C-alpha cells in the first residue's frame, strides 16, 4: 500500500532536494550494474538524518544472498555516525520490500526492509517508484512516491529489469517442475479473471497473489 493519499510528514528538506538524491542514487545503481551486474544491486538508497547528514548505499551480494539498498545505506550510516537517530528519512529508488516467508525472502540477507525501517523509527520513505509486487500495510512510516515524472520513469526502468522477472516467476514459474509463487499457493497457471476474483477473497498469501495478478491484468501497479 503506497500512502500517497496521506499527508506527507513535515520536513525541512524539500522534495526537490529529495529528488536530487534520487537522481544520484539512480546513477550509482546504473554504474554498479555496468561494472558487475551479478554483484552490484538493483536498488540504491540513502539515509538523511534530521541534521542533514546524507549517507548512501547500493544493494550488494553477501554469502550468496542479496543485501538490499536500504540495509546497505543504514549499515553505512551506522558505521560512520553510530545508531540512527529518530526521525530519519530513507530515500530509495524502489519502495521497501516486505516479504517474510517466500522465495524472495529466502534469497535476501536479513529481515525485510519494511521490518528494518520499522525497527529504526524511520518517519518517511521517499521513493522513486512503487514496487507493485508488494502488498499490505506493515510499515509504521509514511511511503511517498516522487511526483517528478522523469525520475520516476528512470527508477521504473531500473526496477523493471528485475520486477518483470519476479512477476513471471510469481505467476507461471520458470519451467517444468518449478512452479511460481501463485501455483505453490493453489492458483493455476493461466487462471481466468473469475478464478482470480474468487481466490482474491482467500486469506494470507493466496489472496494477496490473486489480487496482484488481477491488478497487473488491469494495468495497475499493484
DSSP character at residue 122: -
pLDDT of residue 3: 43
Give 71-107 pLDDT, tens digit per residue: 999 999 999 999 999 999 999 999 999 877 666 778 8
pLDDT of residue 88: 95
Residue (of 23, 45, 8) closest to 150 by Cα position: 23
Q: Which residue has the higher pLDDT, 73 or 110?
A: 73
- The matching CATH number, chosen from 3.40.140.10, 3.20.20.10, 3.40.50.300, 3.30.360.10, for 15-163 is 3.40.140.10
Query: Does residue 193 surpass a pLDDT of 80?
Result: no
pLDDT of residue 195: 82
Pair 207, 185: CB distance under 8 Å = no
Question: What residue spans in the chain does CATH classification 3.40.140.10 cover?
Answer: 15-163
Instruction: Write out the DSSP string of 155-191.
Output: HHHHHHHHHHHHHHHHHH-SBTTB--HHHHTTPPTT-
Q: What is the pTM of this model?
A: 0.71
pLDDT of residue 147: 94
Q: Lowest mean pLDDT: which of 23-32, 33-42, 90-99? A: 33-42
pLDDT of residue 177: 40
Q: Which residue has the higher pLDDT, 10 or 92?
A: 92
Give the whole-angstrom CA distance, residue 66 versus residue 222: 23
In which band, very low, low, confident or very high, does the pLDDT at 4 lie, cut at 50, 70 and 90?
A: very low
E-strand stretches of 49-135: 54-62, 65-67, 89-92, 124-127
Query: Does residue 209 surpass a pLDDT of 50?
Result: yes
Give the whole-angstrom CA distance, residue 208 versus residue 222: 10
In which band, very low, low, confident or very high, does the pLDDT at 35 lie, cut at 50, 70 and 90?
A: confident
Give 135-167 pLDDT, tens digit per residue: 656 788 999 999 999 999 999 988 887 776 555
Query: Does residue 197 surpass a pLDDT of 70?
Result: yes
With a pLDDT cut of 70, the percent of the chain lying above it is: 77
62 phi/psi in degrees, rounded to 5 = -145, 120
Amino acid at each position: 500500500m503506497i500512502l500517497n493519499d496521506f499527508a506527507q510528514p513535515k520536513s525541512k528538506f524539500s522534495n526537490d532536494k529529495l529528488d536530487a538524491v534520487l537522481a544520484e542514487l539512480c546513477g550509482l545503481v546504473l554504474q554498479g550494474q555496468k561494472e558487475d551486474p551479478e554483484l552490484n544491486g538493483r536498488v540504491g538508497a540513502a539515509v538523511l538524518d534530521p541534521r542533514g547528514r546524507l549517507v548512501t548505499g547500493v544493494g550488494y551480494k553477501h554469502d550468496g544472498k542479496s543485501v538490499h539498498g536500504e540495509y546497505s545505506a543504514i549499515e553505512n550510516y551506522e558505521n560512520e555516525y553510530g545508531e540512527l537517530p529518530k526521525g530519519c528519512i530513507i530515500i530509495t529508488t524502489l519502495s521497501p520490500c516486505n516479504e517474510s516467508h517466500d522465495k524472495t525472502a529466502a534469497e535476501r540477507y536479513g529481515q525485510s526492509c519494511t521490518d528494518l525501517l520499522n525497527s529504526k523509527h524511520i518517519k518517511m520513505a521517499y521513493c522513486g517508484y512503487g514496487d507493485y509486487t508488494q502488498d499490505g500495510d506493515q510499515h509504521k512510516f509514511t511511503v511517498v512516491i516522487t511526483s517528478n515524472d522523469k525520475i520516476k520513469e528512470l527508477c521504473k526502468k531500473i526496477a523493471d529489469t528485475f520486477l518483470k522477472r519476479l512477476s513471471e516467476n510469481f505467476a507461471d514459474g520458470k519451467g517444468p517442475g518449478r512452479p511460481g509463487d501463485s501455483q505453490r499457493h493453489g492458483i493455476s497457471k493461466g487462471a481466468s479473471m473469475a478464478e482470480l476474483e474468487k481466490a482474491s477473497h482467500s486469506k494470507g498469501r493466496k489472496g494477496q497473489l490473486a489480487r496482484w495478478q488481477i491488478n497487473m491484468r488491469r494495468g495497475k501497479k499493484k
